[in-house]
Chain A
């Protein structure tokens, strides 16, 4: 194995916890059972690394094989790096009929037409998602396997999730995607986060949403029983109504684990008109940037609304996160929903 292969493998070993590494090697079909069992994951990483290098050299495996391993590893541990969502627009009639083999071929050929040196690997995950690993090069340099871009796409959907893509590479990826999926345009979906699963679930609607219902919602049953029915009946009614509205806006049960939402506000000052007449009458916007952060943003918001820290009905700005599947917003005077004023 050459120096570069060694470096690539070393980086993979160093970045992955021992258990995850073991799981990755288990999923890799090239290793024999004996080879797999021969690696002792309890020893320090350096020693694990040497064992792996020996196995690789014995089999004459190269960079290509390491990237395979890296890809399996990434697919199993996707919640790393920063994922950005893109949305393709204007589907052609045949967009829904694209199948995997066809997409694979087209994507590879389109991208290698656009970029001189590029290495593309496509693999299908168990959830029908296509994983694409792209190592970019240019006319002068071979593909850089140390900084690959990962793209995840579910055929038949307009969404594409991308990590580690720089602005120089973006046009090429966009072009190749459009040409091979049967869409005519692509735009930033204004949704990003560290957890691929979260942004995927939000856009693919793979979480429990609550809708208004005629019947008593089972949500109310979750509420704790009230000790003093006379005094608190009304209150508990309010509470269950709040909970219903909170769940309608942010989902029920386990919600997609978003970590941030950012609003760039360029609206007129909206303080109290009585105490702050000068400001409310002022021309021009009151510019500010508001960033919400939590380990699970939607869960935090849901509790804000159900506990009354946030007034219900929930502000359209906040409910837009799930409604529009976005976590970055620029709010101007025109774009502000009328119910705000």
Chain B
């Protein structure tokens, strides 16, 4: 409801692009959920289930991601912790116009920052430089290409010859988005539902309001749900035989006063063994499966994995973790927090993680 109102608000405020209001509201009805809902009418899945997460996941192995993606861009993606937001489809966003967007956003930020500042205008105008760039080699078949945004700035009183520093970065991506949904979007809409940002929050909100004004979209905070965190715990543990995950760390919070935080750190080998024991089929079958390009992981396996961890914990402390909520999952491959912060430390598993998060973003979008 709140998001709908936000949308209405932005529609009133942005008459610049001259899109009729009717058209916009139509676009909203055509959200992810309703699209899958439509599918249900053909008798595939009931709407309710469709609104949930995928129950199985293919672990794609993009070892060559390093070769495909520009090294600097990849280094940036892997270096930072990103704060996530969801973005509704962008109206009339063109990947070909990135240069002009860079200029526009620079002007916008400078103008906004200038408000209330009684300083030398020239200096302020020079102090923000925005660059939009494409990240090639990440997108799946139906996905729009990922866009990277960087804001450089010079300190207000910096010397003339001092180089500008990167002070904010963000990206918009769609990783293996649901093809039914993507296909159902009208031509003028580009779907890049996952937005990550890293840098001062005032800049994040400036960039977001620029997007809202220019592409008539809604942007809101994206939490990483309990289920997503459990998925990540399993997906990362699943990688242990290729890349040592060092540890599997789960942070729970229990709703008592004062709140109780429990950090449960499992030895990587033991976590891997437990994961192996809950995978369906025996070890021998798994080897054969290994030869297939994609390995399927079922949500039941994820749940039994978590169940196993929880019951080992319960047998010792007689404390029921499921009465609390999972707040954070971390391995050496990355960390994810309930409040929507993610760090992907190993590029090899970036695609899998982003796919999961894209799905979360699509689900979070208002109907």
Chain A in direct contact with chain B (Cβ < 8 angstroms): yes
Interface residues of A (CB under 8 A from B): 263, 265, 267, 269-272, 275-276, 278-279, 282, 285-297, 299-301, 303-304, 307, 309-312, 314-315, 317-318, 331, 340
| Bound CA–CA A294/B258 (angstroms) | 7
B256, B267, B277, B318: the one contacting A278 at CB < 8 Å is B277
Interface residues of B in 254-286 (CB under 8 A from A): 254-267, 270, 273-274, 276-278
Q: B189-223 interface mask toward A, CB cutoff 8 Å, 1 = contact, 0 = none?
A: 00000000000000000000000000000000000
| Bound CA–CA A292/B256 (angstroms) | 13
- Which A residues lie within 8 Å of B264 (CB)? 288-290
Q: Are B262 and A292 in contact (CB under 8 A)?
A: yes
| Bound CA–CA A210/B253 (angstroms) | 28
Nearest neighbor of A293 in chain B, beta-carbon distance:
B261
- Which B residues lie within 8 Å of A276 (CB)? 274, 277-278, 304, 308, 311
- 15 additional A-B pairs beyond A285-B270, A288-B266, beta carbons within 8 Å, are A271-B308, A275-B308, A276-B277, A278-B276, A278-B277, A288-B264, A289-B265, A291-B263, A292-B261, A294-B260, A294-B261, A300-B258, A304-B254, A307-B256, A315-B317
Is B312 an interface residue, CB under 8 A from the partner? yes
The CB with the most chain B CB atoms within 10 A, among A267, A275, A309, A331, is that of A309
* Distance from B266 Cβ to chain A, minimum over Cβ atoms (Å): 4
- Which B residues lie within 8 Å of A309 (CB)? 254-256, 319-320, 323-324
| Bound CA–CA A271/B257 (angstroms) | 29
Nearest neighbor of B268 in chain A, beta-carbon distance:
A287
* Distance from A239 Cβ to chain B, minimum over Cβ atoms (Å): 15
Q: What are the 8 tightest A-B residue pairs by CB atom distance, in nearest-first order?
A: A270-B315, A287-B267, A300-B260, A278-B277, A315-B318, A303-B256, A311-B318, A291-B263
| Bound CA–CA A294/B320 (angstroms) | 17
Q: Are A294 and B259 in contact (CB under 8 A)?
A: yes
* Distance from B98 Cβ to chain A, minimum over Cβ atoms (Å): 46
Q: Could you give 14 example pairs across A and B, Cβ below 8 Å?
A: A272-B307, A272-B311, A278-B277, A286-B274, A287-B266, A289-B263, A289-B264, A290-B262, A292-B260, A300-B258, A303-B257, A318-B318, A318-B319, A340-B316
Q: Are B261 and A317 in contact (CB under 8 A)?
A: no
- Which A residues lie within 8 Å of B311 (CB)? 270-272, 276
- Which B residues lie within 8 Å of A301 (CB)? 260
- Which B residues lie within 8 Å of A291 (CB)? 262-263, 265
**In the complex with contacts A279-B274, A310-B318, A288-B265 CB distance below 8 A:** yes
| Bound CA–CA A293/B316 (angstroms) | 17
- Size category of the binding interface on chain B: 20 to 34
Q: Are A340 and B270 in contact (CB under 8 A)?
A: no
A265, A278, A299: the one contacting B258 at CB < 8 Å is A299
The CB with the most chain B CB atoms within 10 A, among A269, A271, A289, A299, is that of A271
Is B44 an interface residue, CB under 8 A from the partner? no
Is B53 an interface residue, CB under 8 A from the partner? no
| Bound CA–CA A271/B309 (angstroms) | 7
- Which A residues lie within 8 Å of B259 (CB)? 294, 300
**In the complex with contacts A310-B318, A315-B316, A290-B256 CB distance below 8 A:** no
B254, B258, B307, B313: the one contacting A290 at CB < 8 Å is B313
- Which A residues lie within 8 Å of B263 (CB)? 289-291, 293
- Which A residues lie within 8 Å of B277 (CB)? 276, 278-279, 282
* Distance from A243 Cβ to chain B, minimum over Cβ atoms (Å): 14
| Bound CA–CA A271/B263 (angstroms) | 18
- Which A residues lie within 8 Å of B267 (CB)? 286-288
A294, A303, A310, A340: the one contacting B315 at CB < 8 Å is A340
Q: Are B312 and A295 in contact (CB under 8 A)?
A: no
A282, A304, A314, A317: the one contacting B316 at CB < 8 Å is A317
| Bound CA–CA A296/B258 (angstroms) | 7
Q: Are B308 and A279 in contact (CB under 8 A)?
A: yes
* Distance from B177 Cβ to chain A, minimum over Cβ atoms (Å): 35
Q: B66-87 interface mask toward A, CB cutoff 8 Å, 1 = contact, 0 = none?
A: 0000000000000000000000
* Distance from B37 Cβ to chain A, minimum over Cβ atoms (Å): 35
Nearest neighbor of B267 in chain A, beta-carbon distance:
A287
- Which B residues lie within 8 Å of A293 (CB)? 260-263
A265, A272, A310, A340: the one contacting B320 at CB < 8 Å is A310
| Bound CA–CA A318/B263 (angstroms) | 15
Q: Are A275 and B307 in contact (CB under 8 A)?
A: yes
A263, A270, A278, A315: the one contacting B312 at CB < 8 Å is A270
- Which B residues lie within 8 Å of A289 (CB)? 263-265
Nearest neighbor of A318 in chain B, beta-carbon distance:
B317
Q: Are A279 and B316 in contact (CB under 8 A)?
A: no
| Bound CA–CA A307/B320 (angstroms) | 12
| Bound CA–CA A311/B311 (angstroms) | 13
Q: Are A279 and B318 in contact (CB under 8 A)?
A: no
Q: Are B258 and A295 in contact (CB under 8 A)?
A: yes
Nearest neighbor of B317 in chain A, beta-carbon distance:
A315
Nearest neighbor of B258 in chain A, beta-carbon distance:
A295
| Bound CA–CA A307/B323 (angstroms) | 11
| Bound CA–CA A310/B318 (angstroms) | 6
B254, B276, B278: the one contacting A300 at CB < 8 Å is B254
- Which A residues lie within 8 Å of B313 (CB)? 290
**In the complex with contacts A288-B266, A309-B323, A269-B274 CB distance below 8 A:** yes
Q: Are A279 and B273 in contact (CB under 8 A)?
A: yes
| Bound CA–CA A156/B78 (angstroms) | 58
- Which B residues lie within 8 Å of A300 (CB)? 254, 256-260
Q: Are A282 and B265 in contact (CB under 8 A)?
A: no
Q: Are B261 and A282 in contact (CB under 8 A)?
A: no
A272, A287, A303: the one contacting B270 at CB < 8 Å is A287
* Distance from A246 Cβ to chain B, minimum over Cβ atoms (Å): 11
